Chain A
Amino acid sequence: MSKAQIQMTETIAILIIFFILVMFGIIFFSQIQRSTFEQRSTTAAGERAISTALRATFLPELVCTKGDNVEIRDCIDVTKLKAAAAVIKEHEDYYFDIFQYATVRVEQYYPVETTYLLYSRTRDGNPPNELTTKATTPVPVSLLDPFTGEHYFGVLFIEVYT
């Protein structure tokens, strides 16, 4: 092999090693990017869950009032709850902009166990099961029946599908 040929082979070898190193660098970088992207998605989903929970908790459609519309904190009016469930069903697209993919329900525990489903929409359109990934926010609430003036105990569940 002549000297020139050896030099050429050397140059080609250096280039190959260089590009292999660049390739490793790109693969490493893209892996980091991917994991960062996944982390960001998780954070965004968490933030979305908090926003949805906040919207549901302070929904004027549900909150108990006295006098001239003075709100009572952490209290849900049962009669409003029933009417709201029917109206939300009729205006599902409007409420999708508020809750997006989520289930909002109120579970009454005392004196009688009852569940009121307010809103539910999953990404695949099927009812949620135990495999559906979600962030759940339970909010203990007092349930008021203004007809009798009695207060019951329940929990408002906001499940946001991530």
Chain B
Amino acid sequence: MTKAQLSMAFHWIYVFLAGGVILFFFIMIASRQKVASEEQLSVTLAQKLDAIFTGAAQTKQTFEVIELPPLDIYFYCEDDAASYAVGEKGSPRSVPIQPIFAPYKVHAEPRVNVWSVPFRMPFQVINMLMVDAPTITTFLVYDISDLASERLLDVIQEDIPAQFNFVPITKEELYAQSSLSTPQVRLIFLTEIGYEREKLPPFVLGKDPRNVHIVQIEHERAVTYYTMDGNDALSTGTITVIQGFEEHHSLYAALFSNDAASYRCNMRKVFERLIILAEMYEQRANDLKQRYRAVGNQLCELQINPKFAELKEQATLCRDELSTCLAEIYTTAQSIQRNNAFVQQQCAVLY
């Protein structure tokens, strides 16, 4: 090989090496840019969702449809930490105040449904948000031989907005079903789980257990959550449903929740707010009493006698352990409501 030929070969090797380095450099920049823009998109969408949730939470009893590109929203609430994120690796956005009842994963395609329902005890405490998507089919499973389940079905169908993908179905029909078009399914049993010898309907057995939510309403004050374990359904926990002044709202919150832990976590936020409001109304009631005393209006001074301090104590118990306080808190709230109805005939309202 002559010197010129050798030089040419080295020249080409040099060109390939340099080209490779330059190409690698640009590929690296492009991939980093891709990761950064994905993160940016996740943050931007989370910000938009934040604004949407804030807006929805301010108005009672509203149903909002949010058009979104295909994406997964992950909701997390356990103990005292609550957040949501767009995408599994998206940066979580903390939601310390607003209770959001939703499955762990909501796949938005093409939209997300948000329903805002008030929680009163007896005054307005907070609006609870229920989040769902058309990619989740919810079967309301009832038994024609079980009157209680049919009655419950009527109540749920009357209250829950029709835009939610809730399908009433008998046990026989459910267990005869062979396929499902949506990726996620929620089975709400208004009656006993299981049909003949099968615990779960055959069409859910091939699904990822994370995409199958199983809830059983034992009665209006108790809901049990299940998880799929092979062909069986294992109980993961039972929760006590609080009776609020809007009769079934807490029950609906339980139906939209991912599991017992997330329901308790969100209800803790509700009670935290109730504690603060009870404290505020107690202070206000004392101020009003003093003002009535100062002008010599004994009637109003004596009539204003609400049990806000008691309500606060019971709300603290509820926040710490949901099942221990429920009957007492409702009785106290009813007593405050009666006092308010009586007082406002001649004096200022209590709340």
Residues of A at under 8 Å CB distance from B? Answer: 4, 15, 18, 22, 40, 44, 47, 50-51, 54-55, 57-58, 60-61, 65-69, 71, 79-80, 82-84, 86-87, 90-91, 94, 97-98, 146-147
Taking a contact as CB atoms under 8 Å apart, the answer to whether B50 and A51 are in contact is yes
Taking a contact as CB atoms under 8 Å apart, the answer to whether A65 and B44 are in contact is no
Give a binary string over B48-73; 1 marks a CB under 8 Å from any A CB, 0 the rest: 10110011001100000000000000
Given A47-B47, A79-B287, A147-B348, A87 contacting B272 (CB threshold 8 A): no
Cβ-defined partner of B97 (8 Å) among A47, A68, A98: A98
Chain B residues whose CB sits within 8 angstroms of the CB of A65 once the complex forms = 123, 349, 351
Report whether over half of chain B's contact residues are helix, strand or loop; otherwise say mixed.
helix
- Additional A-B contacts beyond A69-B124, A91-B276, A147-B348 (8; CB < 8 A): A54-B55, A60-B125, A68-B337, A79-B288, A83-B284, A84-B280, A87-B279, A147-B288
Residues of B at under 8 Å CB distance from A? Answer: 7, 18, 22, 25, 40, 44, 47-48, 50-51, 54-55, 58-59, 96-97, 120, 122-126, 272, 276-277, 279-281, 283-284, 287-288, 291-292, 337, 340-341, 344, 348-349, 351
Q: How far is the CB of B347 from chain A (nearest CB, A)?
A: 8
- Select from chain B the residue with minimum beta-carbon distance to A86: B283
Complex Cα gap A108–B83 (Å): 38
Cβ-defined partner of B54 (8 Å) among A51, A66, A83, A94: A51
Complex Cα gap A74–B63 (Å): 22
Complex Cα gap A86–B276 (Å): 11
Given A79-B348, A87-B276, A68 contacting B18 (CB threshold 8 A): no
Given A66-B349, A69-B123, A97-B96, A83 contacting B337 (CB threshold 8 A): no
- Select from chain B the residue with minimum beta-carbon distance to A96: B96
Taking a contact as CB atoms under 8 Å apart, the answer to whether A47 and B280 are in contact is no
Q: How far is the CB of B275 from chain A (nearest CB, A)?
A: 9
Taking a contact as CB atoms under 8 Å apart, the answer to whether B340 and A68 are in contact is yes
Taking a contact as CB atoms under 8 Å apart, the answer to whether B123 and A44 are in contact is no
Chain B residues whose CB sits within 8 angstroms of the CB of A4 once the complex forms = 7
Q: How far is the CB of A139 from chain B (nearest CB, A)?
A: 13
- Select from chain A the residue with minimum beta-carbon distance to B285: A83
Q: How far is the CB of B56 from chain A (nearest CB, A)?
A: 10
Q: Mind listing 9 A-B residue pairs with CB under 8 Å? A: A15-B18, A54-B58, A60-B123, A61-B277, A61-B280, A69-B120, A83-B281, A90-B279, A97-B97
- Select from chain A the residue with minimum beta-carbon distance to B282: A83
Chain A residues whose CB sits within 8 angstroms of the CB of B123 once the complex forms = 60, 65, 69
Q: How far is the CB of B278 from chain A (nearest CB, A)?
A: 10
Chain A residues whose CB sits within 8 angstroms of the CB of B349 once the complex forms = 65-67, 146
Taking a contact as CB atoms under 8 Å apart, the answer to whether B51 and A87 are in contact is no
Taking a contact as CB atoms under 8 Å apart, the answer to whether B47 and A60 are in contact is no
Chain B residues whose CB sits within 8 angstroms of the CB of A97 once the complex forms = 96-97
Complex Cα gap A12–B43 (Å): 44
- Select from chain B the residue with minimum beta-carbon distance to A144: B348
Taking a contact as CB atoms under 8 Å apart, the answer to whether A83 and B122 are in contact is no
Taking a contact as CB atoms under 8 Å apart, the answer to whether A79 and B284 are in contact is yes
Chain B residues whose CB sits within 8 angstroms of the CB of A61 once the complex forms = 277, 280
Q: How far is the CB of B103 from chain A (nearest CB, A)?
A: 24
Taking a contact as CB atoms under 8 Å apart, the answer to whether B348 and A68 are in contact is no
Complex Cα gap A116–B277 (Å): 19
Cβ-defined partner of A83 (8 Å) among B7, B58, B125, B280: B280
Chain B residues whose CB sits within 8 angstroms of the CB of A40 once the complex forms = 40, 44
